[in-house]
Amino acid sequence: MTDTKDFSDYKGVWVFIEQLDGDLTRTTLSLEMLGEGRKLADKLGTELVAFLLGHNVKKLAEELVHYGADKVLLADDPALANYRTGHYTDIICKEALERKPDILLVGASPVGRDLAPRISYRLHTGCTADCTLLDIDEEKKILVSTRPAFGGNVMATILCPDHRPQMSTVRPGVMEVPQKDMARKGEVIDLKVSVDDAKDPVKVLSSRKREHSGINIQEAERIVAVGMGAGDTHTFAKLEELAKELDAHIGGTRPVVEACLITHDCQIGQTGKTVRPELYIACGISGTVQHTTGMSGAKTIVAINKDANAEIFNFAHYGIVGDASKIVPALIEQIRSAKAVN
């Protein structure tokens, strides 16, 4: 069946760009996808297209080129200022039907998770959700999407050989933000969009910023992560002290969130955030796959656990076996002495 379909008209790797209040850097996911999209486009010898929707966002188009896009499809309209499922789906699908992209990447953010299934349904194609790895099958020249399955116990590799565009949503924090190249040149295409707000059954009456810890843990350079083995009041207070000494953010495992020690936006792992800090101190964390999937990309991992056989030590660059309630105060003391000497 695959052999009978001719997809030679379908070209280009598209990336749906998310911006917040006209700012690309407040969520790095779109930039991460541009970096990955660039690699896929180069392997296919095709163009990388950034699809940007919003209001007063034209200034971002050039930046997208600097981050690797060859072309920017720009839909700028007051009705697109806030994300609207119907309008965004209509515009992207209209362009996709006309321009025929080979691949379409969308972020696995709350917006992307709402938008991507609508697009894939409308275009009669598949969508691999929550991918952690993307590649091109050299022989068949098709997208190879990999994502954790069965609670993260296996990695599933998924192809979409019979439909176009091949769609995937991409987990935040898994791929690297590319270097900005100010010398890159690209084309910006102003799309003529006609958005009939009156026909939209959804009306945005007001919007309010969600309350959270105020910390974007994905941008932290250093993280002190708390697990159930360090969740008692005394050790937790010491970990906060350690974080302060290191100018680090506090993150943690899901049970620690469930115990209300930290907020959900600081949960790291499969159902939390994926982080790639310079330093990750995992304290009293067993190291289940649901947690390590969100932190294994950290540059330096230090694990503290009283169980020498804990799985977390298989991910750690440095391991300390012992009771966290004793080790953490000792670490703080060492850091303070080192600071005093310097």
Strand partners, 147: 156
Q: Is 216 in the site for ligand FAD (CB under 6 A)?
A: no
Minimal distance, residue 327 CB to ligand FAD, in Å:
7
CA dist 263 and 238 (Å) reads 18
Three-class DSSP labels, 282-325: EECCCCCHHHHCCCCCCCEEEEEECCCCCHHHHCCCEEEECCHH
Stretch in the footprint of ligand FAD (CB under 6 A) among 29-37, 130-138, 184-192, 289-297? 289-297
- Interface positions, 2-21, toward ligand FAD (CB under 6 A): none
Minimal distance, residue 96 CB to ligand FAD, in Å:
32
Strand partners, 52: 17, 74
Query: DSSP secondary structure string, 61-97?
Result: HHHHHHTT-SEEEEEE-GGGSS--HHHHHHHHHHHHH
Q: Is 296 in the site for ligand FAD (CB under 6 A)?
A: no
> Binder to ligand FAD among 79, 133, 193, 228 (CB under 6 A)?
228
Smaller CB distance to ligand FAD: residue 186 or 284? 284
Q: Is 157 in the site for ligand FAD (CB under 6 A)?
A: no
> Binder to ligand FAD among 137, 162, 278, 307 (CB under 6 A)?
307
Q: Is 305 in the site for ligand FAD (CB under 6 A)?
A: yes
Q: Is 227 in the site for ligand FAD (CB under 6 A)?
A: yes
Stretch in the footprint of ligand FAD (CB under 6 A) among 50-58, 129-137, 155-163, 281-289? 281-289
> Binder to ligand FAD among 161, 178, 255, 319 (CB under 6 A)?
255
Rg (CA), the chain: 22
- By the 8 A CB rule, do 294 and 268 touch? yes
Residue 195 identity: V
Residues recorded for the chain: 342
Q: Is 126 in the site for ligand FAD (CB under 6 A)?
A: no
> Binder to ligand FAD among 269, 275, 301, 303 (CB under 6 A)?
269
- Interface positions, 317-336, toward ligand FAD (CB under 6 A): 323-325
Q: Is 284 in the site for ligand FAD (CB under 6 A)?
A: yes
Q: Is 134 in the site for ligand FAD (CB under 6 A)?
A: no
Smaller CB distance to ligand FAD: residue 111 or 256? 256
What are 176-181's contacts with CB under 8 Å, separation 24+? 176/32, 176/35, 176/276, 177/28, 177/31, 177/32, 177/35, 177/67, 178/31, 178/34, 178/35, 178/38, 178/67, 178/68, 180/63, 180/66, 180/67, 181/66, 181/67, 181/68
List interacting residues with ligand FAD (CB under 6 A): 151, 227-229, 253-256, 267-272, 284-286, 288, 290-291, 294, 304-307, 310, 323-325
